[in-house]
Amino acid sequence: MGPVKASPESQLHLLELAELDAELARLDHRKRGLPEIAELAAMEARTGELKDAVVVTETELGDLAREESRAERDVEQVRTRIDRDRGRLDAGQVSAARELASLQSEIESLRRRQGDLEEVVLELMERREGLTSRLDELTAERDRLGTQMTTVAARRDAAISEIDEQAGQASGQRKEVAAEVPADLLKLYEQIRDARGVGAAMLRAGRCQGCHLNLNTVDLNQIRSSAPDEVVRCEECRRILVRTPESGL
Ligand SMILES: [Zn+2]
């Protein structure tokens, strides 16, 4: 690209453009860095953990319920056998001393077995109660989190639409200003902006406002001797240096 020339007015428009571009970059940065976004990500992660925990607990509860009804069936069987044995005793069906002793000892051992099984059932019930209240806690937290997420998402959306509105205004202004800048100067500005983030800076009191370095005497003298329509660049940061009455030339 050959040396770009543009009227001082056109060059001044670049400062407005740079300001609007900085504003747009600030808004974009703010939008992407909204605290609600990180908050929601953390909440989503927690929701995932809770979902997994609910599935695990429900599975455990199902296993436990099956174990419990098995144990209850066992108790029932033992009880039935005891009743049958007792029935035989009460009906006086057994009279031989040896048979009587054997029946009584069987009843004794069945009672011990019943006691053991009942303890197992009790233990399973306690475990089930513990798991049920854990499940209640998990689902309560999940529901609470769901409500909170709706609130945070609404806050995020409100913040985003506010930012978008400001960005829309800045974009509109930028379009108007850009229309005032000759095409070749605008192209140069955009190229530098793409590479460095900021395309143009004011020369103020002998200092580039882009890289904040003072220009040396040689460079300053060269700028002094340049025609007003010459587009000058900072030797340090290569940005377009826009001359104003404050430039200290
Ligand atoms: Zn500079």
Residuewise pLDDT in 10s, the chain (249 residues):
568 999 999 999 999 999 999 999 999 999 999 999 999 999 999 999 999 999 999 999 999 999 999 999 999 999 999 999 999 999 988 889 999 999 999 999 999 999 999 999 999 999 999 999 999 999 999 999 999 999 999 999 999 999 999 999 999 999 999 999 999 999 999 999 999 889 999 999 999 999 999 999 999 999 999 999 999 999 999 999 999 999 988
- The alpha carbon of 16 and the centre of ligand 1 are apart by a number of angstroms equal to 17
CA of 18 to the centre of ligand 1 (A): 14
pTM of the model: 0.75
- Compute, in angstroms, the gap from residue 209 CA to the centroid of ligand 1: 7
The residue among 1, 10, 23 whose CA lies nearest residue 171 is 23
Ligand 1 centre and the CA of 64: distance in Å? 73
Q: How far is the CA of 133 from the centre of ligand 1 (A)?
A: 66
Largest Cα–Cα separation, the chain? 136
- What is the whole-number distance in angstroms between the Cα of residue 210 and the centre of ligand 1? 5
Q: What distance in angstroms lies between residue 174's CA and the mean position of ligand 1's atoms? A: 23
